[in-house]
């Protein structure tokens, strides 16, 4: 049994605040006094969340039971082999189950309706075996108003759907009931103190122009992720989506793992194997909207416009061309909360990155809205309080039942209290994405010369996060890799990317600049920008091309829908140097733990020298972004006296650098205050380099060997 489930409470209630904290959802004001004028809004959303918890406790036996809707709805199989199928479709006049099991007879298996619009049918076992064959096709056939027309739909809670593009782009529902259920071998790993996240898409995880599989990812990609030092994987495009090029963001079957990569048990094996490597696995969950597909989606399921979604214009996202959930409806809450619980239980995911949270928080969905940071933007009539409350309930349920669960919010607005627990009036996420950081880099690379980069603005952007709310820093994610944009290395080296990345070619100024800045940008983002770090698959080695899925506009080509790991493995190409640096950066953080340490103390932001100096977790970081100037015996402040050694050096030859800084460099502090620190030391900082130094006594006895292997300490 999963130890996380063993002690699961019978019900979920918001943890009572301490006697010194208000019990009305305004406890967050003590952390942020600027929220004081908005206490009424904080009370309103908190009260609504508490009322939902009370209602669910009274009517459903609590959130714990309520979130197990997948054990009641859809297809369930009892120990004796009895199959029960239930579906909520209150607008339907009659309902029938059809499929391979009855030769697709539309009238032979009529379902019964209860007072709440839930249809049900049971199939007793035949000769001791389930009456419906495993993996056979089926659908629900509904008689609906408007001339009593018949329509067939994919069951809303179906756990497997498949697509045969040679026949039709529409998905087929499958009755998934394998005779031998997958048995997980490894427990979930403990929640990482420092989340180093590898954002990955199974389908593109191959150098070959094809859709890669779960098994290929397990055998080929997982070992790479482990060796690089990432301890968390964020899997994209797992929930079934009809259109591959949607990147997984147009969901049509919420409980089905995408069949284009293989079978459900293949995904379970992937997660189980990752757990065996000590890697946490997160699901990129899409509850912000749904595909507008009718034949194989939730849209117009029972021929009504408002079953799971808002009716009319409010139920449609004009930019995404998709449907929007009605978060204030009892059955929609059951569906979505049960969906989260299903992925945690059935597939043993360890948490979620919630996509499109901005759209869920506001009635305007962020469309045409530029958030200035004014608090009035986060409260008032533009806020979708039902959406806010759903996220409160989701986080409360997940963290109560799974204490090590990780939840991440993708929100561009900067909503206060997004990552504060419900008892204080917060929404309850563990982390938020620092979405302004990659935007800054792209803007500078597009518009500024290197000498114009503003060190003060860089440090402000990297440290501008809300007190008490954890942030995930990243230099680039999948958003920056999409066609029409460029990855960082592509912006830096586009002119010579295909001609001078070989070690047999000249190390040109373009390539030297690009590789140097690629390392500097990633290291300063990693060490200064947040309490966790994220990298998109392939960007660790500067993947040379954007990402574009097969579609009509590109001749359905897979050329750009792949990750060219072969470039890293080729010892004659310079991509391996960037890969080795990323590896050293992750493992050095594993040793010193700066991501889960308090925010860095920035002691120097020198605009003319383009030098930034800060300390975090006992590590001294010195960056020189100047394109031409190097500095000898550069004086930098440091708080703790002692002998310091280089533990990470971007200029090391094994990272493609020029070797101007010695890996074994040893420097001593002087007892004299400098830049607000109690001591100083003097270091050599060549142009476009960075070094991280740590006290000599923190180094392992075999640190020289570790350095030579590229682990940074």
- Decide if 532 is inside a domain: no
Same domain, 32 and 89: no
Q: Which of 60, 385, 396, 410 is catalytic?
A: 410
Same domain, 388 and 283: yes
Please tell me which residue, 598 or 147, carries the higher pLDDT value. 598
Q: Is 410 a catalytic residue?
A: yes
Distances in Å between the Cα of 340 and the Cα atoms of 347, 398, 666 are 11, 8, 51
Tens digits of residue pLDDT in 598-612:
999 999 999 999 999
Structure-block tokens of residue 407 = 């939840």
Same domain, 618 and 663: yes
- Decide if 126 is inside a domain: yes
Same domain, 112 and 43: no
Q: Do 337 and 60 form a contact (C-beta atoms < 8 A)? A: no
Tens digits of residue pLDDT in 635-670:
999 999 999 999 999 999 999 999 999 888 899 999
Q: Is the pLDDT of residue 280 over 80?
A: yes
Tens digits of residue pLDDT in 458-473:
999 999 999 899 999 9
**CATH at 272:** 3.20.20.80
Same domain, 285 and 407: yes
Q: Is the pLDDT of residue 12 over 70?
A: no
Tens digits of residue pLDDT in 365-417:
999 888 888 899 999 999 999 999 999 999 999 999 999 999 999 999 999 99
The vertex-71 CA angle with 70 and 74, nearest 5°, equals: 55
Q: Which of 64, 216, 355, 545 is catalytic?
A: 355
- The fraction of the chain above a pLDDT of 90, given in percent, is 87
In which band, very low, low, confident or very high, does the pLDDT at 6 lie, cut at 50, 70 and 90?
A: very low
Q: Do 522 and 539 form a contact (C-beta atoms < 8 A)? A: no
Q: State mean pLDDT over 555-578.
A: 95
- Rounded CA-CA distance 457/337 in Å is 41
- Rounded CA-CA distance 260/163 in Å is 8
- Decide if 26 is inside a domain: yes
**CATH at 141:** 2.60.40.10
Domain boundary among 104, 131, 155: 155
Tens digits of residue pLDDT in 73-96:
999 999 999 999 999 999 999 999
Cβ within 8 Å of residue 578, ≥6 positions away: 489, 515, 518, 519, 540, 541, 542, 655, 656
Q: Is the pLDDT of residue 2 over 60?
A: no
- Decide if 307 is inside a domain: yes
Q: What is the pTM of this model?
A: 0.94
- Decide if 571 is inside a domain: no
Q: Which of 504, 591, 561, 545 is nearest to 247 (CA)?
A: 561
Domain count within the chain: 3
Same domain, 257 and 401: yes
Tens digits of residue pLDDT in 662-693:
888 899 999 999 999 999 999 999 999 999 99
Residue 19 has a pLDDT of 61
Three-state secondary structure call for residue 290:
strand
Same domain, 292 and 401: yes
- Decide if 259 is inside a domain: yes
Structure-block tokens of residue 665 = 């460099």
Average pLDDT, the chain: 93
Q: Is 60 a catalytic residue?
A: no
Q: Is the pLDDT of residue 47 over 50?
A: yes
- Decide if 544 is inside a domain: no
> HSE on the CB side for 444, CA within 13 Å?
21
Q: Is the pLDDT of residue 9 over 90?
A: no
Q: Is the pLDDT of residue 711 over 90?
A: no
Assign 3-class secondary structure to 586-601.
HHHHHHHCCCCCCCCE
Q: Which of 415, 470, 404, 459 is nearest to 437 (CA)?
A: 459
Q: Is the pLDDT of residue 176 over 50?
A: yes
Least confident range of 494-498, 510-514, 632-636: 494-498
- Rounded CA-CA distance 90/83 in Å is 22
Distances in Å between the Cα of 121 and the Cα atoms of 109, 348, 523 are 8, 29, 58
Same domain, 124 and 34: no
- Decide if 110 is inside a domain: yes
Same domain, 89 and 23: no
- Rounded CA-CA distance 196/175 in Å is 37
Q: Is the pLDDT of residue 702 over 70?
A: no
Same domain, 56 and 104: no
Domain boundary among 367, 400, 433: 433
How many whole angstroms from its chain centre is CA 171? 26
Structural domain of 130: 74-155
DSSP code string of 507-563: --HHHHHHHHHHHHHHHHHHHHS-SEEEEETTGGGT-SS-B----GGGTT--TTSS-
Q: Which of 571, 586, 531, 587 is nearest to 656 (CA)?
A: 571
Residue 703 has a pLDDT of 52
Domain boundary among 132, 155, 178: 155
Same domain, 404 and 302: yes
In which band, very low, low, confident or very high, does the pLDDT at 18 lie, cut at 50, 70 and 90?
A: low
**CATH at 696:** 2.60.40.1180
Same domain, 60 and 118: no
């Amino acid at each position: 049994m999963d130890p996380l489930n063993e002690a699961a409470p019978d019900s979920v209630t918001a943890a009572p605040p301490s006697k010194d904290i208000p019990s009305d959802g305004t406890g967050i004001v003590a952390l942020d006094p600027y929220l004081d004028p908005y206490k009424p809004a904080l009370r309103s959303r908190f009260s609504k969340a508490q009322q939902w918890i009370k209602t669910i406790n009274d009517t459903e036996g609590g959130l714990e039971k309520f979130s197990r809707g997948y054990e009641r709805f859809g297809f369930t199989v009892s120990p004796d082999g009895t199959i029960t199928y239930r579906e909520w479709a209150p607008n339907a006049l009659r309902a029938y189950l059809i499929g391979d099991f009855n030769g697709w007879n539309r009238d032979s298996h009529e379902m019964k309706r209860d007072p709440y619009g839930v249809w049900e049918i049971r199939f007793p076992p035949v000769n001791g075996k389930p009456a419906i064959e495993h993996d056979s096709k089926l659908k629900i056939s509904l008689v609906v108003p408007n001339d009593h027309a018949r329509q067939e739909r994919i069951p809303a809670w179906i756990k497997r759907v498949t697509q045969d593009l040679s026949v039709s782009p529409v998905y087929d529902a499958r009755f998934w009931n394998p005779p031998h259920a997958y048995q997980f071998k490894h427990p979930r790993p403990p929640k990482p103190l420092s989340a180093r996240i590898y954002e990955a898409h199974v389908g593109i995880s191959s150098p070959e122009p094809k859709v890669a599989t779960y098994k290929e990812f397990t055998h080929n990609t997982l070992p790479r992720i482990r060796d690089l030092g990432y301890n968390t994987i964020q899997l994209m495009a797992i929930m079934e989506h009809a259109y591959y090029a949607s990147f997984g963001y147009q969901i049509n079957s919420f409980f089905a793992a995408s069949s284009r990569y293989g079978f459900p048990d293949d995904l379970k094996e992937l997660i189980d194997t990752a757990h065996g490597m000590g890697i946490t696995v997160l699901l990129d969950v899409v509850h912000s909207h749904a595909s507008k597909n009718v034949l194989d989606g939730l849209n117009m399921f029972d021929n009504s416009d408002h079953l799971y979604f808002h009716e009319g214009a409010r139920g449609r996202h004009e930019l995404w061309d998709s449907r929007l959930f009605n978060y204030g409806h009892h059955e929609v809450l059951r569906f979505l909360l049960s969906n989260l619980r299903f992925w945690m239980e059935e597939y043993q995911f360890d948490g979620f990155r919630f996509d499109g949270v901005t759209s869920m928080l506001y009635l305007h969905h962020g469309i045409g809205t530029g958030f200035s940071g004014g608090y009035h933007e986060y409260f008032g009539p533009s806020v979708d309080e039902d959406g806010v409350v759903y996220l409160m309930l989701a986080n409360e349920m997940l963290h109560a039942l799974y204490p090590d669960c990780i939840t991440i919010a993708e929100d561009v607005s900067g909503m206060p209290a997004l990552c504060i627990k419900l008892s204080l009036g917060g929404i309850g996420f563990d982390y938020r994405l620092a979405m302004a950081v990659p935007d800054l880099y792209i803007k500078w690379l597009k518009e500024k010369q290197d000498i114009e980069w503003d060190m003060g603005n860089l440090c402000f952007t990297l440290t501008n996060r809300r007190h008490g709310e954890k942030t995930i820093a990243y230099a680039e994610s999948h958003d920056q890799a999409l066609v029409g944009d460029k990855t960082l290395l592509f912006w830096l080296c586009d002119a010579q990317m295909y001609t001078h990345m070989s070690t047999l070619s000249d190390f040109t100024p373009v390539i030297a600049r690009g590789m140097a800045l690629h390392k500097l940008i990633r290291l300063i983002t990693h060490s200064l920008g947040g309490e966790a770090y994220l990298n998109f698959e392939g960007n660790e080695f500067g993947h040379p091309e954007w990402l574009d899925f097969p579609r009509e506009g590109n001749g359905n080509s897979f050329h750009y829908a792949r990750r060219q790991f072969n470039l890293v493995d080729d010892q004659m190409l310079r991509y391996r140097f960037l890969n080795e640096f990323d590896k050293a950066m992750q493992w050095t953080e594993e040793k010193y733990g700066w991501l889960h340490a308090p925010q860095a103390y920035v002691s120097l932001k020198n605009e003319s020298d383009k030098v930034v100096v800060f300390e975090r977790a006992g590590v001294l970081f010195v960056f020189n972004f100047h394109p031409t100037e190097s500095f000898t015996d550069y004086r930098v402040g440091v708080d703790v006296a002692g002998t310091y050694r280089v533990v990470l050096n971007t200029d090391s030859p094994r990272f493609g650098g020029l070797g101007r800084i010695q890996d074994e460099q040893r420097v001593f502090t002087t007892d004299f205050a400098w830049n607000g620190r109690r001591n100083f030391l003097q270091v050599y900082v060549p142009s476009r380099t960075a070094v991280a130094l740590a006290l000599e006594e923190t180094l392992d006895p075999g640190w020289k060997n570790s350095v030579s292997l590229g682990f940074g300490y």
